[in-house]
């Protein structure tokens, strides 16, 4: 289970100018018969007056946003995308001024890697149109997704009533999504990094995410410049850091004085490097399972797979923000900076279980239908109903749904889908598809649920005991409990170590950094 961030938005300088027309005044009327020269002057004045009546004054030149004033390379920028120093993709970004006082942002991301025995490839392209003036509104967008994860196009238009979005998928009728509030994103949010540098101060805004159509607060701050060697020459680079309320991972960008972005760091694991188009599109074929796993010093004991059961791992490079005690995971800091993590697994207590529908302890977030979860889809509702029928006990119903997904989805890494209805239709996929469909049917059944991201213990064909990135399910049945529909576990055993929820990029810095030094 690996996810990539939404491509960053950058801009290119453009300038539009308009000239105002000046008109003259008619000559005075004389009492006596006009002279030839006077007649000529009157005729000229009359012609100018008639012309003035038929032509309205042109508008004054519109001031452009700082996002369009900031210097940058012409023609856009290409970057190679590296995961743990291995090339797994590339992206292109550009923003230009358009006629009519508008601006267009183009971002394209290609991700390609070997996952198991399959090659996974994703294409994500966004085109957004803004007003070009300072604070210019987002007017429209097209988000295109192809490859692993399914093909889809979202076409959004801002109207007087809000945001209208049409979803297009191959072989299916066009779908008009529920009306959304008008986005708060402005043209400055298309390139906060360069706007912050141009202004010499922090920039704050709201960015509409192209995958879930939610708006997220995004802040870019200036940091101390750094010296780096480029082409054998030492240069001083400006540095800015951008933080989104969605990803919650600081993204550091490094720029030259003429506005060229030379590097972008996504935490400590992923990096984008400025490259020519030819070099950027030349990719390694990286096997991400072996690259990102956490190798263990020894196999886990058998008790880790029992329910109830538990195991203790001593970890290194686990930031304090991940060390939050839960009903399944307890943390004990050690003197040398490491931490002892106790992983536990047990079924929910019978006295704590509740009947459906169950109120969400988080205020409804875990019952919400989204672009991916689609729990209000008629197909999802009908499938869930056919599985649990009249079962009232929430935990029993959750087990039934998880077991059905395990039994009816073909285990096929690379046959991915990012939407629950697509998973239900194709009935195959890896852990993310199993979890997505299970969560959608749980919510459709009135059971609060969410996807859990983390690592799970496995020993693959090379015989190396390790933790591999994985996704499973957490449901609220009167108390929280975890299930794993990929491995048919009604209680996810103690070999599961959770670090985040639903593809949260906040866990990205752990990849390649987290270590296990002891098993107890």
Q: What is the DSSP secondary-structure string of 65-114?
A: PHHHHS---TT-EEEEEEETTEEEEEEEEEEEEETTTEEEEEEEEEEEEE
Give, for 439, the enclosing helix (H) or strand (E).
helix 431-444
Most confident option among 15-19, 121-125, 393-397, 414-418? 393-397
CA nearest 317: which of 507, 60, 36?
507
pLDDT at 54 over 80: no
Q: Is the pTM here over 0.85, yes or no? A: no
pLDDT at 493 over 70: yes
Least confident of 41-55, 316-330, 452-466: 41-55
pLDDT band at 8 (very low <50, low <70, confident <90, very high): very low
Give CA separation, 22 vs 19, 25, 53, 55, in Å: 10, 10, 13, 11
How many C-alpha atoms does 448 have within 13 Å on its Cβ side?
Answer: 16
Number of CB atoms found within 10 A of residue 33's CB = 7
Report the alpha-carbon distance of residue 392 to residue 224 in Å, rounded. Answer: 59
Task: Map out the domains of the chain as residue ranges.
Answer: 66-281, 302-519
Query: How is domain 302-519 classified at the CATH fold level?
Result: C8orf32 fold (3.10.620)
pLDDT score recorded for residue 12: 23
Report the alpha-carbon distance of residue 343 to residue 309 in Å, rounded. Answer: 8
Give CA separation, 32 vs 25, 36, 302, 485, in Å: 21, 12, 119, 103
Report whether 240 contacts 196 (CB < 8 A).
yes
CA nearest 397: which of 389, 409, 405, 407?
389
Report the alpha-carbon distance of residue 128 to residue 122 in Å, rounded. Answer: 20
Report the alpha-carbon distance of residue 238 to residue 222 in Å, rounded. Answer: 8
Identify the DSSP state of 477.
Answer: S
Q: Averaged over 215-219, what is the pLDDT?
A: 95
Report whether 465 contacts 299 (CB < 8 A).
yes
Least confident of 228-232, 345-349, 392-396, 512-516: 228-232
Report whether 242 contacts 250 (CB < 8 A).
yes
Q: Averaged over 110-132, what is the pLDDT?
A: 87
As to burial, measured by CB atoms within 10 angstroms (0-12 exposed, 13-18 middle, 19+ buried), residue 142 is middle
Report the alpha-carbon distance of residue 146 to residue 110 in Å, rounded. Answer: 10
């Amino acid at each position: 289970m690996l996810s990539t961030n939404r491509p960053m938005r950058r801009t290119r300088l453009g300038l539009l100018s308009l000239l105002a027309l000046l008109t003259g005044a008619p000559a005075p009327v004389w009492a006596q018969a006009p002279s030839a020269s006077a007649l000529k002057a009157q005729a000229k004045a009359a012609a100018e007056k008639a012309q003035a009546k038929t032509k309205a004054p042109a508008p004054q030149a519109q001031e452009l946003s700082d996002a369009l004033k900031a210097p940058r390379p012409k023609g856009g920028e290409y970057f190679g995308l590296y995961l743990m120093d291995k090339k797994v993709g590339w992206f292109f970004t550009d923003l230009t001024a358009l006629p009519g006082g508008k601006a267009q942002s183009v971002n394209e991301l290609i991700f390609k890697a070997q996952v198991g025995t399959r090659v996974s490839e994703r294409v994500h392209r966004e085109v957004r149109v803004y007003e070009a003036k300072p604070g210019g509104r987002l007017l429209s967008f097209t988000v295109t997704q192809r490859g692993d994860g399914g093909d889809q196009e979202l076409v959004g238009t801002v109207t007087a009533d809000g945001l209208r979005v049409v979803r297009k998928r191959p072989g299916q009728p066009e779908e008009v999504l529920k009306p959304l509030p008008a986005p708060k994103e402005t043209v400055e949010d298309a390139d906060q990094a360069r706007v912050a540098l141009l202004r010499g101060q922090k920039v704050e805004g709201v960015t509409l995410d192209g995958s879930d159509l939610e708006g997220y607060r995004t802040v870019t701050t200036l940091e101390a410049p750094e010296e780096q060697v480029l082409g054998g020459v030492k240069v001083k680079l400006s540095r800015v850091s951008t933080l989104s309320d969605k990803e919650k991972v600081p993204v550091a960008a490094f720029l030259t004085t003429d506005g060229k972005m030379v590097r972008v760091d996504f935490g400590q694991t992923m990096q984008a490097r400025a490259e020519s188009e030819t070099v950027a599109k030349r990719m390694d074929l990286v096997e991400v399972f072996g690259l990102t796993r956490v190798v263990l010093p020894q196999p886990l004991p058998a008790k880790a797979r029992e329910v109830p059961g538990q195991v203790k791992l001593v970890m290194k490079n686990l930031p304090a923000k991940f060390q939050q005690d839960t009903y399944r995971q307890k943390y004990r800091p050690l003197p040398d900076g490491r931490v002892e993590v106790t992983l536990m697994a047990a079924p929910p207590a019978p006295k704590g279980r509740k009947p459906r529908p169950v109120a969400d302890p988080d205020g409804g977030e875990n019952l919400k239908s989204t672009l991916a979860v689609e729990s209000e889809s008629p197909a999802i509702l009908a499938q869930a109903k056919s599985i649990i029928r009249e079962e009232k006990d929430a935990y029993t119903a959750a087990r039934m749904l998880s077991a059905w997904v395990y039994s009816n989805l073909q285990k096929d890494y690379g046959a991915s889908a990012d939407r629950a209805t697509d998973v239900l239709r194709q009935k195959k996929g890896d852990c993310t598809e199993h979890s997505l469909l299970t969560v959608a049917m749980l919510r459709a059944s009135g059971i609060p649920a969410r996807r859990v991201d983390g690592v799970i213990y496995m020993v693959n064909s090379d015989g190396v005991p390790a933790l591999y990135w994985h996704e499973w399910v957490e449901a609220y049945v009167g108390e929280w409990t975890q299930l794993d529909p990929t491995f048919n576990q009604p209680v996810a055993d103690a070999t599961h170590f959770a670090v985040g929820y639903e593809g949260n990029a906040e866990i990205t810095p752990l990849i390649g950094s987290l270590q296990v030094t002891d098993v107890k």
